[in-house]
Structure 1
Amino acid sequence: MGLTSGAVLALAVLSGVLLFTGTVWLWPRLARQSWRTVGARVGLLFATQAAVFAAVALVANQSFGFYASWADLFGRETGRGVVVDHSAGGAPSGVRVVDTRRVVPAGTGRPESGGQVQRVEIVGRTTGITTPAYVYLPPEYFQPRHRARTFPVAVVLTGYPGTAEALVDKLHYPRTALNLARDGRMRPMILVMLRPTVAPPRDTECVDVPGGPRAESFFARDLPEAVLGHYRVGRGPGSWGVVGNSTGGYCALKLALHHPGVYAAGAGLSAYYDAPVDATTGDLFRGDRALRNRANLWWSLEHLPPPDTSLLVTSSRSGESNYRDTLEFIERAKRGKPTRISSIILESGGHNFNTWRREIPPTLEWLSERLSPR
């Protein structure tokens, strides 16, 4: 049974209920003062609390998409290699479609009317990084009258650890994009949804780690190349945008600041503005001060030439720890032309899926206004 399955959650809840009931029922019998009864009482209390904790943790994981599998939870996930065929005269495609499904499972009909979500594996030609992803293709992608049409692309990133599936099932990016386009509030757009954790379980913070994973190069070079080789997407510098929440938001802003020729717009939902170094990241910089500075968005705003890109940041006056930093980031970004800065500031909202679901529709509309399909 998978970590995110309903059966595992039901088993954990049932175990907690049975253990709690059994503890209440057996407690009078275990009231005698002997080492056996004391040990039994301790064991029952421990088992009950462990079951309740497991149930709460499973609910939180299903709600926020922290881990996708048992292997992911225990740090044993390993990326599987993908065979890439290099045909003569053509660029290799680093995308392999694993599975497809409709955007809304209940009755959306054919992809020509409801779009399609493809589960894929992407392999980086230059970095060797392989990672799973989901690709949303709008209905227009499949309609005969649009066969020659290219589409703008938004790369969508989770937080850490996060799961790409949560972008589909919890944050509802494909469904939101479909509804906004149907209402005429945004142009049809392809979404490439994945997590920034491209070398699990390590949190690379989208950094080219010396002697380690070259995460920034993967997102700046390999990912666009792979998608361009497989889908009808825009090739111009204004065709690509990137959006993410939390760690993904930091990565989105950094990619737009550092690679404006690739990403014409970057949106950071509840983002922070400097890469942390902790137990999840390990030593990201190996003493390289220039690399350390490059990962600091404050430093980038002050010391690098202002890039020709659009940035969007979000926060809440109550509930988000990045509120003051976000206001300061806006002020600093406003000083540099041609960089453009926008914001969404909620009155209240925590660092969670519910807050991001409120911010995603206007964020996608903002991206649509700034991206060109060519």
Structure 2
Amino acid sequence: MGLTSNKVLVLAVLLAVLLFAGTVWLWPHLARRTWQAVSGRVGMLLATQVALFACAGLVANQSFGFYASWADLLGEETDQGVVVDNNGGSTGGPLQVVGTQQMSLSGGGRPQLSGQIQKVDIVGRTTHIASPASVYLPPEYFQPQYRNRTFPAAVVLTGYPGTTQALVSKLKYPETAQNLAKDGRMQPMILVMLRPTVAPPRDTECVDIPGGPHTESFFARDLPDALLAHYRIGRKPGSWGIIGDSTGGYCALKLAVHHPEVYAAGVGLSPYYKAPIDPTTGDLFHRNKALQNRADLAWSIRHLPAPNTSLLVTSSRLGETNYKATLAFINAVRATNKTRIASIILASGGHNFNTWRREIPGALQWMSGRLSDL
């Protein structure tokens, strides 16, 4: 049974209930002052607490999508996929479709009515980074009248560690995009959903780490190249946007700031603005101060040529720790007189899925207005 299985959660809850009931039932028999009775009380209390913490952890993981599997949790998910070109060409292509997932909407079995989510494996031609992704294709992509049309694309990033499925089932990006397009509030758009964690379990913060992995180059060059070779996506710089939450939000802003020739718009939902150094990241910069400065978005805005791109940042006056940093970043971008900046500031909202679900419709609508399908 998988880590995110409801059966695992039910079994954990049942075990906790049984241990609690057993503790209550056996407590009178363990009330003596012998070492056996004391050990029994300690053991029963410890087992009950562990079971309760396990239940809480499983609920949190299902709600926020921290880990996708037991191997992911234990840091054992390191295998790289073997990519095969399914277009009739030679093997070794950068993108392979490995499965599909139908949208859970009316007409869900017919892509021309509800769109389709394709599960793909991507290997960067220059960075050799391998990463799975889920690609949402809107209904129009499959309709005959649009067969010669290209579509804008948005790269959608999770936080760290995050799971791609959470972007679909928890944050509901495809469903939101489809409803907005149906209502005429945004144009049909391809969504490329994946984790910024391309070298699990390490958090590379979308940095080109000396000696590798070169995560920034993967997202700036290899990922768009692989997708352009397989899907009908516009080839002009104005055809691409990028959005993410938390770590993914930092990555989205950084990629738009550093690579405006690729990403015409970048959205950071509850982002931070400089790469942290902690046990999950390891040594990202190898004492290279220039690389460390470049990974600081406020430093980049102040010291590098202002990028010709559009940025959107979000925060909350109450509940988010990045509120003051977000206001400072907005002011820094305004001073460039070239880079465009917008914001969503909620009265209250924590660093969680519920807050981001409130921000995603407005963010996608904003992005759609800044992308071209040519």
Q: TM-score range by the shorter chain?
A: over 0.9
Q: Distance in 2 between matches of 1:212 and 1:108?
A: 41
Match of 1:158 in 2: 158
- Does structure 1 residue 352 correspond to structure 2 residue 352? yes
CA distance in 1, matches of 2:305, 2:330: 17
> Is 2:271 aligned against 1:271?
yes
Secondary structure at the counterpart of residue 370 of structure 1: coil
Partner of 1:343: 343
Give the structure 1 partner of residue 186 of structure 2.
186
Amino acid of the structure 2 residue aligned with 1:307: P
Q: Report if the CA contact (8 A) 1:93-1:227 is conserved.
A: no
Aligned partners of 2:52 and 2:312: how far apart in 1?
40
Q: 1:46 to 1:88 in 2, by over 3 A?
A: closer
Q: Partners in 1 of 2:105 and 2:46 — Cα distance?
A: 41
Superposed CA deviations along residues 109-133 of structure 1, whole A, max 9, x for unmatched, are 4110000111111111111111111
Structure 2 CA distance for aligned equivalents of residues 71 and 234 of structure 1? 37
- The alignment's TM-score, normalised by the length of structure 1, stands at 0.97
**Identical positions, percent:** 69
- 1:39 aligns to what? 39
Residue-by-residue CA offset, 1:77-117 (whole Å, 9 max, x unaligned): 01323234599999974111111122226653411000011
> Alpha carbon RMSD of aligned pairs, Å?
1.6
Unaligned runs of 5+ in 1: none
AA aligned to 1:74 is L
Asked whether the equivalents of residues 101 and 116 of structure 2 are also in contact (C-alpha less than 8 Å), the reply is yes
- Does structure 1 residue 12 correspond to structure 2 residue 12? yes
The aligned counterpart of 1:302 is 302
Equivalent position amino acid for 1:42 in 2? V
Aligned-partner residue type, residue 44 of structure 2: L
Match of 2:112, as an amino acid? E
Structure 1 pair 321/110, CA: closer, same or farther in 2 (3 Å)?
A: same
User: In the alignment, does 2:93 pair up with 1:75?
Assistant: no
Given residue 316 of structure 1, which amino acid in structure 2 is its aligned partner?
A: S
Distance 1:189 1:85, change over 3 A: closer
**Cα-to-partner distance string for 1:291-322 (whole Å, 9 max, x where unaligned):** 11110001101100101000000000100000
Question: Which residues in structure 2 correspond to 1:1-374 (within 5 Å)?
Answer: 1-85=1-85, 93-104=93-104, 107-374=107-374
Separation in structure 1 between the aligned mates of residue 89 and residue 33 of structure 2, nearest angstrom: 83
Consecutive aligned runs of 4 or more in structure 1 exceeding 6 Å deviation: 86-92
SS at match of 2:369: helix
Q: Any gaps of 5 or more consecutive residues in structure 2? A: none
Cα deviation for residue 185 of structure 1 reads 0.4
Distance 1:93 1:229, change over 3 A: farther
Assess if the C-alpha contact under 8 Å between 2:83 and 2:121 holds in 1: no
When residues 227 and 93 of structure 1 are mapped into structure 2, their CA distance, relative to the original with a 3 A threshold, is farther
Q: Give the TM-score taking structure 2 as reference length.
A: 0.97
Conserved? CA contact 2:81–2:121, under 8 Å: no
Provide closer, same or farther for how the CA distance between residues 27 and 90 of structure 1 changes in structure 2, counting only shifts above 3 A: closer
Shift of 1:137: 0.3
